[in-house]
Amino acid sequence: MLHDLIGLIVRPRSFFARKIGEPPDYCLPALIVSTACLVYLVMDIVYPVSAEDIRIWAITIVLNVFSPFIDWVVISLVLFVFCRAFSGTGTFLSTFRNSGYGMLPFILIAVMELIVLPFLNTGIAEHSSSSFLPVFAVLLLLNAILVVWSGYLWMYAMEKTHAIAHGDAMAAAAIAGVFYVLWSMAGWVWLVVL
């Protein structure tokens, strides 16, 4: 498994070319996404959501903890649709599996949010732009870098999974990355509105 992770990080093109020839194995992608879920669970335990309505609190916890799995399914659907639009030949299950590998940076996004959340809460509570905005700007920049890394991995995953041109795979990954950013911004708005 460690060998697979190193291959994914160092040589994603050859990693996905090798994965196409192997029997389907969802263990490592599921472990990657589950690790992100675990970090969000820790975040919810350490920094509990305060909501007056118990239903809103429960929905927020469930969505927060399971958001990486929800993201995995939604991003897989987006990638599958756009790769098929580019005459891709891969199945949804292979798209689902290989997009899960591309979610490796989501673990770092979750860890980063866990570390930065106290600073954001302090800035929001104090309504102090001097403490809130710089931390939020750094968080957005790092988040964008990690989403680009995921897009990079998705590009090679979709190129090999759907046997499409490199440029088409790049376009599908870029669309999925932009979709994820908009999707996560909607999630942040949901949390701020609460």
CB burial of residue 126 (10 Å; 0-12, 13-18, 19+): exposed
Give the pLDDT confidence score for residue 59 in this predicted structure.
Answer: 77
Give the pLDDT confidence score for residue 182 in this predicted structure.
Answer: 86
Give the pLDDT confidence score for residue 188 in this predicted structure.
Answer: 61
Whether the predicted pLDDT of 192 surpasses 60: no
Inter-residue contact 158 to 172 (CB < 8 Å):
yes
CB atoms under 10 Å from CB of 166, counted, come to 12
Whether the predicted pLDDT of 94 surpasses 60: yes
What number is the average pLDDT over the span 98-111? 91
Q: What pLDDT digit, counting tens, does each position of 7-64 carry?
A: 899 999 999 999 888 888 899 999 999 999 898 888 877 777 666 667 777 777 787 7
CB atoms under 10 Å from CB of 119, counted, come to 16
Mean of pLDDT over the chain = 84
pTM metric for this prediction: 0.84
Q: What pLDDT digit, counting tens, does each position of 121-159 carry?
A: 555 555 555 656 676 777 788 888 999 999 999 999 999
Whether the predicted pLDDT of 181 surpasses 90: no
SS3 letters for the chain? CHHHHHHHHHCHHHHHHHHHHCCCCCHHHHHHHHHHHHHHHHHHHHCCCCCCCHHHHHHHHHHHHHHHHHHHHHHHHHHHHHHHHCCCCCCHHHHHHHHHHCCHHHHHHHHHHHHHHHHHHHHHHHCCHHHHHHHHHHHHHHHHHHHHHHHHHHHHHHHHHHCCCHHHHHHHHHHHHHHHHHHHHHHHHHHHHC
